[in-house]
């Protein structure tokens, strides 16, 4: 799994498998979390977000789980496809002034084998 600031881990899965990518965040005051996908040579792409008053949120093929007790986030991707291959990173957000300022992790590289 990933922790904000640590080395980039890699997760290899077979097409059709479910993938789980983990993230540990550092600030217990963070109240908004986002998962991003970054393909090679591209900017981060929003996948799904969750607020601290929730512990689970589902999107299309993706689910984010939040455990505030241990400051842990996970991203679950169902039926992983080759197009899901990318670096995934979480961002914890703290509201400073009027807008959220994100702190990003370095990411987990997901490799999907056909």
Partner 1 sequence: EPEVTQTPSHQVTQMGQEVILRCVPISNHLYFYWYRQILGQKVEFLVSFYNNEISEKSEIFDDQFSVERPDGSNFTLKIRSTKLEDSAMYFCASSPSTDTQYFGPGTRLTVL
Query: Which spans of this chain sit near partner 1 (rule: CB under 8 A)?
Result: 4-5, 8, 32, 34, 36, 41-46, 49, 89, 91, 95-107
Cα gap 16→101, rounded to integer Å: 35
CB of 107 to partner 1, least distance (A): 7
Cα gap 74→65, rounded to integer Å: 5
Q: How many CB atoms lie within 10 A of CB 7?
A: 7
- Give whichever of 52 and 103 is closer to partner 1, judged by the CB atom: 103
CB of 89 to partner 1, least distance (A): 7
- Give whichever of 1 and 17 is closer to partner 1, judged by the CB atom: 1
Beta carbons within 8 Å of 73's beta carbon, 6+ residues apart:
22, 23, 24, 25, 33, 35, 50, 64, 65, 66, 67, 90
CB of 104 to partner 1, least distance (A): 4
Cα gap 64→62, rounded to integer Å: 7
CB of 15 to partner 1, least distance (A): 26
- Give whichever of 48 and 65 is closer to partner 1, judged by the CB atom: 48
- Give whichever of 17 and 49 is closer to partner 1, judged by the CB atom: 49
């Amino acid at each position: 799994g990933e922790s904000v600031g640590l080395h980039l881990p890699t997760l290899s899965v077979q097409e059709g498998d479910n993938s789980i990518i983990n993230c540990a965040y550092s600030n217990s005051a963070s109240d908004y979390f986002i998962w991003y996908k970054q393909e090679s040579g591209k900017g981060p792409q929003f996948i799904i977000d969750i607020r601290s008053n929730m512990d689970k949120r589902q999107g299309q093929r993706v689910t984010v789980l939040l455990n505030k007790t241990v400051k842990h986030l996970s991203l679950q991707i169902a039926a992983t496809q080759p197009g899901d291959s990318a670096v995934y990173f979480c961002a914890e957000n703290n509201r400073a002034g009027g807008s959220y300022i994100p702190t990003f992790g370095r990411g987990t590289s997901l490799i999907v084998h056909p």
